[in-house]
């Protein structure tokens, strides 16, 4: 029997997979995992690392307090079949910065509490792709990342100017935190970066300086996205930031394209990427697929439009070849509501479908974001109340489509806590949810059960 060590954390079992090793060893919901191979488990990374070996000893505390030491012979990297009450097996770390561009600070009061939580947890970077500032990461955290060789880590750089970074994050240690990138790079940890660009702050010459400095970390730093700051109407008392205009976007793209060319010639990757918003604001064409280096920055809106268009055309061509387009006499009238950012592209896609399918009428509507302010144009920040207000009285046909990102992940609830069926009742039309790919768009519109 292994002895419980002082301050040993107890990780409560939430579920046990049927037929798993844990079930065979009679591990039950409510039991606690204390240690593996006499090593206390700090969080999910310790657990995943320690559980890999072919022979392990697992210290379990049963619900009645009795402790079992379980000997496990298994395949290398075979899972025990346990999930825990906390996905991290630890408390989430919140952000201690007061960034001048933080969107959470620009949200109105009275929304659900979880929307105000600012995470800055390096572990979520690996598990969920979140971006971290490094200011909340201790030397112990860095050492564990290097020891377990956890990759990639996603970093919110904002600037490589230490003094400016302290100002932007309102944290006197923010500049010093950049030194952790050196240690991660030396250990061969792969990284992706992000810059939230603020007009007159970290753009222009400062952006060029940051790009040059970040290029020194190639190939460990695989990509960096440049995203324009999102400005809601709730900025009273916050740092005075101005929105980017068309000419600003053109200048930013010219700089990024220049360094893309340089990086491609020198390293074989484009490295620095502009989010789709820059091209839309500058009224320039979205780049070809090859410029996105495998879409490493999709979550930051880099290449989403290009991928959407390519998937759409691939699916249309497939259906044309296989004779799967609806017959001309099939009359259908549908509608789709989305954010202003993606609206022009969805409208173009709808027009192409209607040309191929003469019996189809598809109304595409762009919803103005009155809740957060007109400068917020992404579909994922639309509220049910704006959709209801602006879709009332409009031609909707027999069904209304909405993009999946208007709903809370895994639920039928909007950002403002209004349920999907409430919107259906208010608009008196069945609502179908469209997934994010171009193929999903075609299936939703052309297949009778698409979106349900």
Query: pLDDT, tens digit, for every residue of 367-405?
Result: 999 999 999 999 999 999 999 999 999 999 999 999 999
Residue 88 or residue 319, greater confidence: 319
* Nearest-angstrom CA–CA distance, 232 and 398: 34
* Nearest-angstrom CA–CA distance, 409 and 284: 32
% of the chain surpassing 70 pLDDT: 91
Sign for the pseudo-dihedral over CA of 199, 171, 148, 51: negative
Is the pLDDT assigned to residue 108 strictly greater than 60?
A: yes
The predicted structure's pLDDT at residue 52: 87
Residue 72 token pair: 């496990």
User: Distances from the Cα of 93 to the Cαs of 124, 134, 321, in angstroms?
Assistant: 9, 12, 52
Find the mean pLDDT for residues 415-426.
Answer: 96
Find the mean pLDDT for residues 38-60.
Answer: 88
**pLDDT band at residue 91, thresholds of 50, 70 and 90?**
low
Cβ neighbors of 189 (< 8 A, separation 6 or more) are: 145, 146, 149, 150, 151, 152, 153, 220
pTM, two decimals, is 0.84
Domains parsed from the chain with CATH numbers = 11-84 (2.30.42.10), 104-300 (3.80.30.10), 307-446 (3.40.50)
Is the pLDDT assigned to residue 70 strictly greater than 50?
A: yes
Is the pLDDT assigned to residue 353 strictly greater than 80?
A: yes
Q: 34 and 7 in contact (C-beta within 8 Å)?
A: no
The predicted structure's pLDDT at residue 208: 98
Find the mean pLDDT for residues 43-50.
Answer: 82
What is the pLDDT of the chain when averaged over all its residues?
91
Find the mean pLDDT for residues 58-75.
Answer: 94
Q: Lowest mean pLDDT: which of 55-64, 107-116, 144-153, 203-212? A: 107-116
**pLDDT band at residue 4, thresholds of 50, 70 and 90?**
low
Q: Mind listing the pLDDT tens digit for each residue in 163-187? A: 999 999 999 999 999 999 999 999 9
Find the mean pLDDT for residues 39-44.
Answer: 85
28: number of CA atoms within 13 Å, CB side? 9
Residue 128 is inside which H or E element, if any? helix 122-128
Torsions phi, psi of 119, nearest 5? Answer: -90, 145
* Nearest-angstrom CA–CA distance, 226 and 272: 7
DSSP state of 119: B
Find the mean pLDDT for residues 192-196.
Answer: 96
Q: Lowest mean pLDDT: which of 134-148, 200-214, 261-275? A: 134-148
Torsions phi, psi of 208, nearest 5? Answer: -60, -40
The predicted structure's pLDDT at residue 328: 66
Residue 392 is inside which H or E element, if any? none
Is the pLDDT assigned to residue 1 strictly greater than 50?
A: no
């Amino acid at each position: 029997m292994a002895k419980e060590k002082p301050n040993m954390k107890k990780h409560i079992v939430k579920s046990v997979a049927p037929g798993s090793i844990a079930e065979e060893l009679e591990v039950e919901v409510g039991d606690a995992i204390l240690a593996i191979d006499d090593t206390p488990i700090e969080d999910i990374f310790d657990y995943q690392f320690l559980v890999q070996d072919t022979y392990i000893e697992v210290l379990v505390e049963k619900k009645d307090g009795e402790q079992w030491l379980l000997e496990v012979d298994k395949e290398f990297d075979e899972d025990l079949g346990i999930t825990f009450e906390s996905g991290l097996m630890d408390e989430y770390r919140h952000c201690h910065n007061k960034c001048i561009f933080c969107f959470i600070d620009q949200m109105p009061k009275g929304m659900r509490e979880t929307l105000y939580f600012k995470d800055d947890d390096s572990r979520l970077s690996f598990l969920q792709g979140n971006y971290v500032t490094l200011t909340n990461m201790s030397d112990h955290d860095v050492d564990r990342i290097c020891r377990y060789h956890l990759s990639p880590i996603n970093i919110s750089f904002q600037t490589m100017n230490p003094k400016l970074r302290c100002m932007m994050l309102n944290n006197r240690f923010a500049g010093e935190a950049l030194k952790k990138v050196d240690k991660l790079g030396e250990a061969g940890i792969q990284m992706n970066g992000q810059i939230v660009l603020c007009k007159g702050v970290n753009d222009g010459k400062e952006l060029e300086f940051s790009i040059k400095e970040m290029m020194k970390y190639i190939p460990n730093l695989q990509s960096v996205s440049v995203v324009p700051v999102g400005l809601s109407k709730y900025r009273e008392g916050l740092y005075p930031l101005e929105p980017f205009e068309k000419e600003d976007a053109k200048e930013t793209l010219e700089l990024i394209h220049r360094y893309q060319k340089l990086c491609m010639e020198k390293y074989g990757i484009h490295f620095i990427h502009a989010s789709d918003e820059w091209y839309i604001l500058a009224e320039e064409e979205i780049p070809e697929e090859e410029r996105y280096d495998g879409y490493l920055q999709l979550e930051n809106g880099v290449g989403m439009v290009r991928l959407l268009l390519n998937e759409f055309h691939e699916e249309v061509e497939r259906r044309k070849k296989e004779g799967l387009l609806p017959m001309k006499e099939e009359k259908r009238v549908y509608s789709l509501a989305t954010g202003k950012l993606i609206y022009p592209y969805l409208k173009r896609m709808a027009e192409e479908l209607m040309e191929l399918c003469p019996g189809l009428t598809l109304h595409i509507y762009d919803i103005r974001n009155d809740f957060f302010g007109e400068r917020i144009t992404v579909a994922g920040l639309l509220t049910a109340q704006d959709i209801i207000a602006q879709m009332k009285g409009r031609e909707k046909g027999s069904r209304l489509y909405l993009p999946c990102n208007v709903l809370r992940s895994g639920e039928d609830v909007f950002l403002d806590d209004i349920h999907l069926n409430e919107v259906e009742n208010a608009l008196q039309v069945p609502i179908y949810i469209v997934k994010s790919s171009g193929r999903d768009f075609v299936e939703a519109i052309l297949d009778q059960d698409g979106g349900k």
